[in-house]
Structure 1
Amino acid sequence: MFITDIQTMHQKVPLKKPFKTALRTVDQAESIIVKVEVSNGIIGWGEAAPTMMITGESIQSIEATILYTIKPLLLGKSILNTETIFHLLHRSCVGNSSAKAAVDIAIYDILAQYHNLPLYQYLGGEWEDGLHNEVETDYTVSVNSPEEMSEAALQHVTDGFNILKIKVGKDSIEKDIVRIQRVRETVGPDITIRVDANQGWKTKDAIRAIRKMEDMGLNIDLVEQPVLASDIEGMKMVTDSVLTPIMADETVFSPSDAFEVLKTRAADLINIKLMKSGGIYKASIINHMAEECGVECMVGSMIESHLSVTAAVHFAASKRNIVRYDFDAPLMLVDKPTNGGIDYEINKIRIPEEPGLGISSIKEEWRVGRGAKTT
């Protein structure tokens, strides 16, 4: 079963409203879709989302990496020789993690189809208590004024979400505390609140803010990436100084990044994203390393569409050590651009039982250059 072709296409789907973090504002989910074909006729789908502020990739760089660096290495190779395939993929170039992730996802889609299993089962996801084919996602509240954020939080809770991720880190620590306080007062004590600073705080300010929130009884589930991604020492200082669990996100791309965090105990949790890790193969290594060290993981996504988030959900549902899920990005889109894949019932995500990802095709109307609806 040899790889016979790798093709790309450009997809662009508008968001229902702009998504704002400390790093950027986004109004559309733009990505490169990858189609991998093998000699027995199976087709695998993958997706890469450009996030210049995090992975350093653009639409143009992703497509060029896939077509002119990865594709020549993989054409003609047996897809069943997974050690060689993934070695070649990850040694093809430095960085370019989203481009690698798209091809990785498509390969796993083909492998699971070949074995006639949903991807989460192919990855090991049949639990003792039955099939683990449903997960609960949080919903993210973009960073805005405290009033806007509390209104948005209340709407999400009214819609049926029990877990909220609150974006902060754009301006002052004092205003961030007010944001979180207003949200907690609005949604009540029973809603789980997570805080994501997206590297927006300095070490001492982060300690001061988190301790203040603890003293105020805001009951924060975790604080994600409070300091710069490169500042492992600062993150460890925050982790050691507060009671609230600290989660590393942008700090951890690769297994070697995870090793540094785990070795130094710089964080209590790790957020794995396929666009950072380069796909499922390396993400699995990160999760196994964390599990051996007694550190639980979350799996989340960038602003991606149903295709790559479907892969992330399959992966997350297959691992015992992954206990938190951040998969709200497709809910922010004006349309589902795939036929098949995950379905949402408010905060619950149903994982398809068809072989592979469970995606049969990509909707033509969202393809750029093919009459895509880009406005």
Structure 2
Amino acid sequence: MKITKVRAVSYKVQNAMTGWKTSLGGHDTHEMIFLRVDTDEKASGVGIASPGAIFISGDTGTNHLELINNRFGPAIVGADPFDLEGIIARLDSIVHGAERAKAGIDLALHDLMGKALGVPCNRLFGGVVHPRVRVTRLMGMYEPKEMAEKSRALAERGYTALKLKVGTTVREDVERVKRVREAVGPEVTITIDFNQACSPKEAIRTVNAMEPYDVALVEQPVKATDLKGMALVRQSVSPLVMADEAVNSATEALKIVEAGAADVISLKIPKMGGIFKARKAAAVCEAAGIEYLVGTAPGSRLLDAANVHLAASLRNLRLPCEIGEFERMANDPCAGLEIVNGFSSPPERPGLGIEVDLARVGLAE
């Protein structure tokens, strides 16, 4: 089997939860890059490259389209789609970084391989350890009252884990967490995400002021490059501290471990370059004895299906994962993944297991 064609197109999804933002910014439209990999044996796979918010990743859909259609695609035509190690090495030799575009290729290849073999793609990397994965839903940085109301609505739908975006002032952030805790009760797990908004001292002061409200985990409180600051926060607060923007590869995961900068690492398929590379970062965590979870970027069911396939395969996974954000996208062209009572399960259909409306996104034959 040989790859014969790679095509990528842009598709915009709308955030149905308007006003959603982080400490770094926000927008109501997300550009997704859908791509299709065809072969000489009529097997094909569909992937998604999620540029993410430009104020976080620096990526744009235009960059992704140019890379995939004009550089990555031509470079892998003629390759065996099962030669994943070789293909990824080839992509890495073309350009350093651009992991979100590379992730799109990775997902399309996992979809293709699974379909060619007639198995869900998790069978390609060990199978299912966790038939159901507990889901954390993300909550934008709204005013305290609105954040509490929206959080209550999610809890009433069966979600038992929420991640709150924070990072304005100590008073406002503490009030957000207080209001949400009062709204959802004691049984819901609350984590907070600063998106690098604080100095170490500010983060310590804010998190310690939230002590009465049982925050379980604190994500990326300081700048991604400030590993000493991360380590100081970790030593000074009770909740677990998680690295996100600070970890984009297995190598960076190792640096976090060496610096003692985090208790948990967020494994994100887009920023790490795909399932293949995310699993390498997971192996670093397992060897070092630190926790991980599967994080997400705004996207469609196609991306979250990849997330749940990955999460379900990770032996040491104990924390809830960010798999449900497709629910806040108003015009997702994909079907085949749902959340039931706050849990998600990997699709059982071959490949990623998702039905993509190829005509709608512009990838029909």
TM range (shorter): over 0.9
Preserved contact between residue 15 and residue 334 of structure 1 (Cα < 8 Å): yes
Counterpart for residue 186 of structure 2: 189
Q: Give the drift of 1:29.
A: 3.0
**Distance in structure 2 (CA, Å) of the matches to 1:10 and 1:167:** 28
Q: Give the drift of 1:15.
A: 1.7
Query: Against the structure 1 CA distance between its residues 368 and 4, is the aligned structure 2 distance closer, same or farther, given a 3 Å change threshold?
Result: closer
Counterpart for residue 133 of structure 1: 131
Cα deviation, 1:194-242, whole Å, max 9, x if unaligned, reads: 111111111101111112222xx21111001111111111111101112
**What letter matches 2:153 in structure 1?**
Q
Cα deviation, 1:183-202, whole Å, max 9, x if unaligned, reads: 11222111110111111111
* TM-score, normalised by the number of residues in structure 1: 0.92
**What letter matches 1:114 in structure 2?**
A
* TM-score, normalised by the number of residues in structure 2: 0.94
Preserved contact between residue 309 and residue 346 of structure 2 (Cα < 8 Å): yes
Counterpart for residue 8 of structure 2: 8
Counterpart for residue 51 of structure 2: 50
Give the alignment partner of residue 163 of structure 2, picking from 158, 162, 165: 165
Counterpart for residue 112 of structure 2: 110
- SS of the aligned residue for 1:345 comes to coil
Unaligned 5+ residue runs, structure 2?
Answer: none
**Distance in structure 2 (CA, Å) of the matches to 1:349 and 1:86:** 29
- SS of the aligned residue for 1:358 comes to coil
**Distance in structure 2 (CA, Å) of the matches to 1:282 and 1:290:** 13
Preserved contact between residue 225 and residue 250 of structure 1 (Cα < 8 Å): yes
**Distance in structure 2 (CA, Å) of the matches to 1:133 and 1:73:** 37
**What letter matches 1:232 in structure 2?**
L
Q: Give the drift of 1:339.
A: 4.1
Preserved contact between residue 301 and residue 335 of structure 2 (Cα < 8 Å): no
Counterpart for residue 140 of structure 2: 142
Unaligned 5+ residue runs, structure 1?
Answer: 371-375
Counterpart for residue 72 of structure 1: 74
Counterpart for residue 23 of structure 1: 24
Query: Against the structure 1 CA distance between its residues 37 and 167, is the aligned structure 2 distance closer, same or farther, given a 3 Å change threshold?
Result: same
Identify, as 1 or 2, the structure richer in strand. 1
**Pairwise CA RMSD of aligned residues?**
1.7
Identical aligned pairs, as a percentage?
A: 34
Q: Give the drift of 1:133.
A: 3.2
Q: Give the drift of 1:345.
A: 2.4
Counterpart for residue 328 of structure 2: 332
Counterpart for residue 288 of structure 2: 293
Cα deviation, 1:93-144, whole Å, max 9, x if unaligned, reads: 11111100000111111222233221122221233xxxx3332212222111
2:222 aligned with 1:224 = no
**What letter matches 2:134 in structure 1?**
E
Preserved contact between residue 98 and residue 275 of structure 1 (Cα < 8 Å): yes
- SS of the aligned residue for 2:245 comes to coil
Cα deviation, 1:154-209, whole Å, max 9, x if unaligned, reads: 1111222111111101x212211111111112221111101111111111011111
